[in-house]
């Protein structure tokens, strides 16, 4: 029986069929759906699998690793930058042998689509000398997960699976088997023989699947030989032999030049390292098509089905309104960011990773480095400003999940050293950006059962922070006053000062409000709400020189009524 599913669920399916016993993860796009997939399939198969969302990737890694050391079949899941968080443990395992099996899934994000950087997990595996698989489709990802968990058990070595976001999030019909009965069909090596020795392709991951599509479309599938790499490290020596049998070889891989560097043949190899392909970014369908076509032209290979630029030209004539990523209409973070900027426009605003990174266009986030970076950076800024005797307010923002994930040591450190800055904790009750996973405060397990809730304010107090205020971000004037009061207090008192901006994520509450939004009636065209509030429901009509409300998007939270100088209405708490 087949079932249509995304790659992340396919990985989950492979694990459950292979007899997984322990799974731990920290949510991060593109990896977030693997753990919920394991929960779902374990219920369906009546399999006893312990599943947990960990407070961060290092904890997830160590929870699974500990179980594997003891003899269990364990896996942990994270995104590529999450592996950095787990790196101390990842680096150390070289020296240990496991009794059970241990598979690490680190999902990469070429592009990057939803990360601060792109980063190639395969590179880290080469550096660490760890076996690494790069699946090219959801179906293959299911087989790889099944195979890897069993291989790890046999070899007593950890194994890494590295899907990219196109594998994690594309859908395919995946065959289902009873646990322990999966028929694994892993394909690696010369997939298509091809008639010519002038040009060949070595490809891995999603780039392989796209290359096959392009060659089929260009009627070149029987002409150009293709070598598929599934296990990127250790690389099969046959790849080198294949490359040496050709005049030119195109390497298609995401995102770094891992295979290309291993081939170490700058004469015939074309890829990212020799500058033929861009050194960064996703290898999209268009990029691969252009690369194959141009190398064919240079090698004298006839391309029958050339690129149809007419369609591309036509698409350029369509006037698509650019829509940069924005916080949702009515997002509580927007109101809080607005208040932060209103209170101190000249402040410095260290920010963090999450939906609230989108405070950048609101002028309330100046820096985004890594999970937890907001607090340590605020400490660093304070050191500089206090030495130079400059009284610049510092407003560090972070989310509730990030607070527990990476901020606690930095907050404790800042308190111990009496760093005077304002900590704005944007508490929306969930890990919103990655799909509403629970935080330690939520008090719900990965399986949806009740667990102990850890309160943010109690944790802050335990870290030595005495000054804590809780505000409703929709009460914008109150938030502004609280921030000003906090700054005033820091002049004489001790730091840091914590403000918890608490209101549920709108996607979680799915709420619409009942405030009458009549901005259009009073709008003078000053554009203040567009510039400083950036709500997706506010559009400026250039003809009428007035703001228009997109009623389909607007949730009638009414925050814009305070932002508009012609209206300026304080709402009672909703
Ligand atoms: S998902 Fe929630 S937290 Fe994220 S932007 Fe939307 S409302 Fe805000
Ligand atoms: S009321 Fe204003 S701020 Fe709220 S969603 Fe509508 S336009 Fe945006």
Which residue has the CA at smallest separation from atom 3 of ligand 1? 505
pLDDT at position 307 over 70: no
Ligand 1 atom having least distance to the Cα of 327: 5
Report the candidate in 494, 471, 493 with the shortest Cα–Cα distance to residue 482: 471
Confidence (pTM): 0.93
pLDDT computed for residue 51 by the predictor:
98
pLDDT at 315: 76
> Nearest ligand to the C-alpha of residue 332?
1
**pLDDT at 558 > cutoff 90:** yes
Q: How far is the CA of 560 from the centre of ligand 2 (A)?
A: 5
Centre of ligand 1 from the C-alpha of residue 506, in Å: 6
pLDDT, mean of residues 444-448? 94
Report the candidate in 160, 50, 152, 175 with the shortest Cα–Cα distance to residue 98: 152
Distance, in Å, from the CA atom of 51 to the CA atom of 447, rounded to the nearest integer, reads 7
Tokens encoding 543: 């003809």
Residue 391: is its pLDDT beyond 80?
Answer: yes
Q: Say what the pLDDT of residue 320 is.
A: 77
Residue 335: phi and psi, rounded to 5, are: -60, -40
For residues 303 and 289, is the Cβ–Cβ distance under 8 A?
Answer: no
pLDDT at 299: 94
Name the residue of 27, 324, 329, 333 to mutate for ligand 1: max ligand atoms within 8 A of Cβ.
Answer: 333
Please, what is the average pLDDT of the chain? 94
Going by pLDDT thresholds of 50, 70 and 90, the confidence category of residue 567 is confident
pLDDT band at 511 (very low <50, low <70, confident <90, very high): confident
| Ligand in closest contact with the CA of 433 | 1
> What ligand is nearest to the CA atom of residue 534?
2
Higher pLDDT, 211 or 315: 211
Residue 522: half-sphere exposure toward Cβ, Cα within 13 Å: 15
Task: Write down the residue that tokens 């394991």 correspond to.
Answer: 38
Reported as a single tens digit per residue, the pLDDT across 5-43 is 999 999 999 999 999 999 999 999 999 999 999 999 999
Pocket probe for ligand 2: among 339, 521, 538, the residue whose CB has the most ligand atoms within 8 Å is: 538
Checking if the pLDDT of 572 tops 70, the result is no
Tell which residue, 57, 65, 14, has the closest CA to residue 32: 57
Using the mean position of ligand 2's atoms as its centre, give its distance from the Cα of residue 420 in Å. Answer: 34
Output the six-digit token pair for 74: 């364990």
- Residue 306: pLDDT band with limits 50, 70, 90: low
Considering only the C-alpha atoms of the chain, give the largest distance between any 2 of them, rounded to a whole number of Å.
80
Residue nearest to atom 8 of ligand 1 (CA): 331
Give the C-alpha separation, 260 to 304, whole Å: 29
Ligand 2, residue 538: give the atom nearest the CA.
Answer: 7
CA 166 remoteness from chain centre: 13
Residue 4 is predicted with a pLDDT of 98
Residues 284 and 353: their CA atoms lie apart, in Å, by: 26
pLDDT number for residue 305: 66
Distance 347 CA to ligand 1 centre (A): 24
Name the closest-CA residue to atom 4, ligand 1.
355
Q: How confident is the model at residue 115 (pLDDT cuts 50, 70, 90)?
A: confident
Q: Which of 327, 337, 517, when mutated, tests ligand 2's pocket best, judged by the most ligand atoms within 8 Å of its CB?
A: 517
Quick one: which atom of ligand 1 is closest to the CA of 358?
5
- Flag whether pLDDT at 573 surpasses 80: no
Residue 99 CA to ligand 1 center (angstroms) comes to 43
Pocket of ligand 1 (CB under 6 A): 327-328, 331, 333, 355, 428, 432, 505-507
What is the CA(537)–ligand 2 centre distance, in A?
6
Residues sharing a CB contact under 8 Å with residue 320, sequence separation 6 or more, in sequence order: none
Q: How confident is the model at residue 398 (pLDDT cuts 50, 70, 90)?
A: very high
Distance 87 CA to ligand 2 centre (A): 42
pLDDT, one tens digit per residue, over 161-187 is 999 999 999 999 999 999 999 999 999
Which one of the ligands is nearest to 535 CA? 2
**In the predicted structure, residue 96 carries a pLDDT above the cut 80:** no
The atom of ligand 1 lying closest to the CA of 508 is 2
Q: Best mutation site among 29, 32, 324, 328 for ligand 1, i.e. most ligand atoms within 8 A of its Cβ? A: 328
- pLDDT grade for 50, boundaries at 50, 70 and 90: very high
Please say if the pLDDT value at position 308 is more than 70: no
Minimum-distance ligand to the CA of 432? 1
Residue nearest (by alpha carbon) to ligand 1 atom 5: 327
Ligand positioned closest to the Cα atom of 536:
2
Q: Give the contacts of 387 (CB within 8 A, at least 6 positions apart).
A: none
Hey, what's the torsion of the CAs at 403, 89, 84, 142, to 10 degrees? -100
How many Å apart are CA 79 and CA 92, to the nearest integer? 19
**pLDDT tens per residue, range 116-162:** 889 999 999 999 999 999 999 999 999 999 999 999 999 999 999 99
C-alpha angle 142/146/152, rounded to 5°? 140
In this structure, of 47-51, 251-255, 497-501, 514-518, the range with the lowest mean pLDDT score is 514-518
- φ, ψ at 523 (rounded to 5°): -60, 130
Ligand 2, CB within 6 Å, residue ranges: 329-330, 517, 535, 537-538, 549, 554-560
Give the pLDDT of residue 92: 83
pLDDT at position 418: 97
Q: Whose CA is nearest to atom 6 of ligand 2?
A: 554
Per-residue pLDDT of 531-556, as tens digits, reads: 999 999 999 999 999 999 999 999 99
The 10s digit of each residue's pLDDT in 327-367 is 999 999 999 999 999 999 999 999 999 999 999 999 999 99
pLDDT recorded at residue 367: 97
Mean pLDDT of the 257-286 span:
94
């Amino acid at each position: 029986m087949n079932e249509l599913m995304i790659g992340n669920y396919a990985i989950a399916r492979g694990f459950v069929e292979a007899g997984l016993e322990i799974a731990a993860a920290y949510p991060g796009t593109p990896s977030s759906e693997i753990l919920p997939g394991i929960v779902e399939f374990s219920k369906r198969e009546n399999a006893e699998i312990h599943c947990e969302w960990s407070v961060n990737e290092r904890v997830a890694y160590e929870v699974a690793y500990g179980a594997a050391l003891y003899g269990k079949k364990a896996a942990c899941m994270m995104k590529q930058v999450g592996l950095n968080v787990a790196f101390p443990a990842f680096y150390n395992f070289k020296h240990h042998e496991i009794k059970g099996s241990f598979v690490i899934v680190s999902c990469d994000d070429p592009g990057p689509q939803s990360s601060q950087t792109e980063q190639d997990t395969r590179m880290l595996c080469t550096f660490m000398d760890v076996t690494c698989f790069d699946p090219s489709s959801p179906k293959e990802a299911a087989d790889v997960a099944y195979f890897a968990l069993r291989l790890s058990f046999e070899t007593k070595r950890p194994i890494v699976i590295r899907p990219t976001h196109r594998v994690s999030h594309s859908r395919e019909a995946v065959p289902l088997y009873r646990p322990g009965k999966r028929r694994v069909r892993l394909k690696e090596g010369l997939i298509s023989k091809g008639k010519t020795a002038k040009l060949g392709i070595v490809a891995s991951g999603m780039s392989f699947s796209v290359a096959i599509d392009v060659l089929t479309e260009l009627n070149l599938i029987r002409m150009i030989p293709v070598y598929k790499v599934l296990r990127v490290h250790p690389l099969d020596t046959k790849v080198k032999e294949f490359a040496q049998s050709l005049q030119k070889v195109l390497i298609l891989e995401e995102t770094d030049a891992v295979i290309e560097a291993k081939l170490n043949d700058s004469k015939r190899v074309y890829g990212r390292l020799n500058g033929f392909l861009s050194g960064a970014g996703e290898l999209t369908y268009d990029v691969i098509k252009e690369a194959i076509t141009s190398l064919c032209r240079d090698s004298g290979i006839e391309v029958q089905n050339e690129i149809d630029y007419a369609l591309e030209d036509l698409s350029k004539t369509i006037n698509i309104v650019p829509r940069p990523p924005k916080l949702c209409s009515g997002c509580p973070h927007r109101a809080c960011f607005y208040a932060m900027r209103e209170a101190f426009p000249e402040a410095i605003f260290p920010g963090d990773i999450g939906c609230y990174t989108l405070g950048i266009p609101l002028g309330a986030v100046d820096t985004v480095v890594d999970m937890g970076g907001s607090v340590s950076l605020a400490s660093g800024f304070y050191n500089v400003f206090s030495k130079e005797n400059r009284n610049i307010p510092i407003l560090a923002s972070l989310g509730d999940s990030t607070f527990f994930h990476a901020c606690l040591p930095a907050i404790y450190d800042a308190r111990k050293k009496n760093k005077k800055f304002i900590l704005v904790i944007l508490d929306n009750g969930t890990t919103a950006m990655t799909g509403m996973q629970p935080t330690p405060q939520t008090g719900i397990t990965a399986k949806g059962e009740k667990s102990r809730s850890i309160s943010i304010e109690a944790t802050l107090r335990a870290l030595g922070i005495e000054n804590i205020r809780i505000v409703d971000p929709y009460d914008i004037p109150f938030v502004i006053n609280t921030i000003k009061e906090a700054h005033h207090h820091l002049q004489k008192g001790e730091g840091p000062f914590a403000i918890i901006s608490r209101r549920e994520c709108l996607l979680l509450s799915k709420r619409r409000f009942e405030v009458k939004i009549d901005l259009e009636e009073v709008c003078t065209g000053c554009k203040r709400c567009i510039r400083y509030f950036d709500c997706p429901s506010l559009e400026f009509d250039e003809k009428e020189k007035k703001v228009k409300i997109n009623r389909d998007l607007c949730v009638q939270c009414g925050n814009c009524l305070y932002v508009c100088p012609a209206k300026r209405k304080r709402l009672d708490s909703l």
